Amino acid sequence: MAKALGSSLDDKPDWEANEKAARQIAEELDQRSEGLCRGISLKSGRYNQQAATPSMLIEVGNNQNTLPQALAAMEPLARAICRYFEE
């Protein structure tokens, strides 16, 4: 299979900026509701995060959360993301 021009799964330009944005959003979430964010995980895949900066994959809930719990996290998450872009 041909490789796309200038890209490789190992290329992660601006990953530091993406991580910084994720940390700022996580800190905002924890200020609003301590423990709501479980932290930032750095992974080896790109998940299309090379497409724009800032980019991140946000997972909400897990197998131990109910749908109402995950939905309840959406408003604080949206506010934290908005606050990041307002600054």
Each residue's pLDDT tens digit, 66-77: 999 999 999 999
Reported as a pLDDT band with limits 50, 70 and 90, residue 3 is very low
How far apart CA 3 and CA 48 sit, in angstroms, is 15
Indicate the SS3 state at residue 39: coil
pLDDT tens for 11-57 read: 777 888 989 999 999 999 999 888 888 888 887 777 888 888 898 88
Strands (DSSP E) along 1-87, which ranges?
none
CA angle 54, 57, 61 (to 5 degrees): 140
